[in-house]
Amino acid sequence: MKRIPQQLVTKLEKRIQSNSLRQLGSTRLPIDFSSNDYIGFSKSEAIFNETHEYLLHHHWNQNGATGSRLISGNHPVYTAVEKEIANFHQSESALIFNSGYDANVGFFSAVPQKGDFILYDELCHASIRDGIQLSNAKAYKYTHNDFEDLERLLQRCQTELTEMYIVTESIFSMDGDTPNLEELITLTEKYNCLLVIDEAHSLGVFGDKGEGLVQYLGLHEKVFARIMTFGKGLGCHGAAVLGSNDLLTYLVNFARSFIYTTGLSPHAVATIGIGYKNLITHSHSIEKLRQNITYFNQQKILLGLQPLFVRSKSAIQCAIIPGNEKVKNMASQLQEKGFDVKAILSPTVPEGQERLRFCLHSYNTEEEITTLLKTIGALVF
């Protein structure tokens, strides 16, 4: 077998030297503080069985044709589930993509046009940035959650002939923090912009039914598009873009990551639908997650650990431990004690911002949270 080019070897060697080489692992430790399965849907046997019954009830298990949704893959379950998603999120339409990555790449590569401007938060997810790179629009990043910096860019880019898109996340995946959405919407209205918000880490966490932060705050009518990803709060594959009927028709015609790919299987789409039904019936799980978030933040203060952590009221909590070697060593010590905790290394985060990232769940116990934080305190101090 031929060897890879020397340039690729050199890049791998640099990763090894900086102690930042990514490798696949399959170890599952007993106390989960790393998965995005915030309310435990991915491990629910009931949801699995409900999905099967849902398909049988509608006689949708008979037709399993696969392919692009524009050719042979548009199974009837898509229409039903997309309608349910749109109703749940009080949106005119919903369009399912295979993943959050596909949704962001498809949206940002297709919607902003040549001559338009995209102004995005510097900490936006890689999928957003990759989509922007494929766009013909001009793009500028603004300092994280800094709306003075954003307004400076708005004033510079404002013209009568082009659109300006402002892009952010309701919950940032590496910090767990959130922008002031009310202030941001005031700014978008002042400059007549189109606001796009990725809600990947908000679905299943915020709102009485886990509907996401934008809708929980009653701001959804003022947002041009929301991207909801299902691999976190719903614990299953897929994502959806929420927006107007015209926007979704446009994506069907021009979003390449939607057009040129095999659609999700009927079972995968039905799982999304059942996940949404369970958001309504499992409000106790969402409430338990909220209680755990509050308890985690309280214990950080009581144990004197708050200065280590990025401020967050979400299910994502991060302790900054600068240096790849140092943070990997601390993660290993926590893993030896049974805590499934992951170190986030540079270049995934900026150098000096390496961190331990903790994902909280409805099924974590207060005892697990306390023991985890006390162990961190012992390692740090």
What is the distance between the alpha carbons of residues 175 and 153, in angstroms, rounded to a whole number? 24
What is the distance between the alpha carbons of residues 298 and 309, in angstroms, rounded to a whole number? 12
pLDDT of residue 65: 63
Range scoring the smallest mean pLDDT among 48-57, 74-83, 169-178, 209-218? 48-57
Phi and psi at residue 65, to the nearest 5°: -60, 140
Q: Which pLDDT band, with edges at 50, 70 and 90, does 67 fall under?
A: confident
pLDDT of residue 113: 97
Write the CA distances from 255 to 111, 120, 130, 249, 321, integer angstroms: 8, 20, 14, 10, 40
DSSP string covering 323-381, please? Answer: SHHHHHHHHHHHHHTTEE-EEE-TTTS-TT--EEEEE--TT--HHHHHHHHHHHHHHH-
Answer yes or no: is pLDDT of 27 > 80: no
Q: Provide the CATH topology of domain 58-281.
A: Aspartate Aminotransferase; domain 2 (3.40.640)
| Burial (CB count within 10 angstroms: exposed 0-12, middle 13-18, buried 19+), residue 49 | exposed
Answer yes or no: is pLDDT of 160 > 80: no
Contact 330, 356 (CB under 8 A): yes
Q: Among the ranges 26-30, 55-59, 324-328, which has the highest mean pLDDT value?
A: 324-328
Phi and psi at residue 282, to the nearest 5°: -115, 45
Indicate where the chain has its CATH 3.90.1150.10 domain(s): 27-42+283-380
pLDDT of residue 254: 98
Using alpha carbons only, give the angle 307, 313, 315 rounded to the nearest 5 degrees: 105
State both tokens at 110.
């297709």
Answer yes or no: is pLDDT of 61 > 70: no
Q: Please state which of the four CATH numbers 3.90.1150.10, 3.30.70.3040, 1.10.620.20, 2.60.40.10 is assigned to the domain occupying 27-42+283-380.
A: 3.90.1150.10
The mean predicted confidence, pLDDT, of the chain is 95
pLDDT of residue 25: 77
Answer yes or no: is pLDDT of 159 > 90: no
Answer yes or no: is pLDDT of 63 > 90: no
Q: The pTM is what? A: 0.94
Indicate where the chain has its CATH 3.40.640.10 domain(s): 58-281
Contact 257, 240 (CB under 8 A): no
User: What type of residue is 27?
Assistant: T
pLDDT of residue 64: 60
